[in-house]
Amino acid sequence: MLLKKNNKIKRIKLNLIHHQKICYYKRSDSTLYQEKIPGYKAMWFLYYNLFGKQLLMTVVARKLTQVLYGKLMDTKWSKKMIKTFINDFNIPMDSYEKSVLQFKSFNDFFIRKKTTIELFLKFNENILCSPCDGKVLVYPSIKQIEHFYIKNHEFSFKKLINDDPNLNEFHNGSIAIIRLCPSDYHRFHFPCKGFVEKTIDISGLYYSVSPVALRKRASIFWENKRTLTKIKESPFSDYLYIEVGATCVGTIEQTYKPFSYIKRGDEKGYFKFGGSTVILIFKENTVIFDQDFIDNTIQGYETEIKVGEQIGILKK
Q: What angle do CA 93, 98, 101 make, to 5 degrees?
A: 90
Q: How far apart are CA 6 and CA 117, in angstroms?
A: 39
Amino acid symbol at 142? I
Residue 30: active-site member:
no
Residue 189: active-site member:
yes
Rounded to the nearest 10 degrees, how much is the dihedral formed by the CA atoms of 82, 83, 85, 89? 140
β-pairing, 302-305 vs 23-26, is parallel
Cβ contacts of 148 within 8 Å, gap of 6 or more: 11, 12, 13, 14, 155, 218
Q: 196 pairs with which residues across the strands?
A: 231, 260
**Residue tagged active-site, from 78, 186, 276, 290:** 276
**Residue tagged active-site, from 105, 130, 133, 219:** 133
| Helix ranges restricted to H, the chain | 40-48, 50-55, 63-72, 82-89, 106-110, 119-122, 142-145, 157-160, 211-214, 220-223, 291-299
Minimal CA–CA distance to 108: which of 270, 247, 227? 270
Residue 29: active-site member:
no
Amino acid symbol at 161? I
280 DSSP assignment: E
Radius of gyration of the chain (CA): 19
Q: How far apart are CA 312 and CA 139, in angstroms?
A: 11
**Residue tagged active-site, from 105, 189, 234, 290:** 189
**What are the backbone dihedrals phi and psi of residue 245, each rounded to the nearest 5 degrees, phi first?**
-75, 170
Write out the catalytic residue numbers.
133, 189, 276
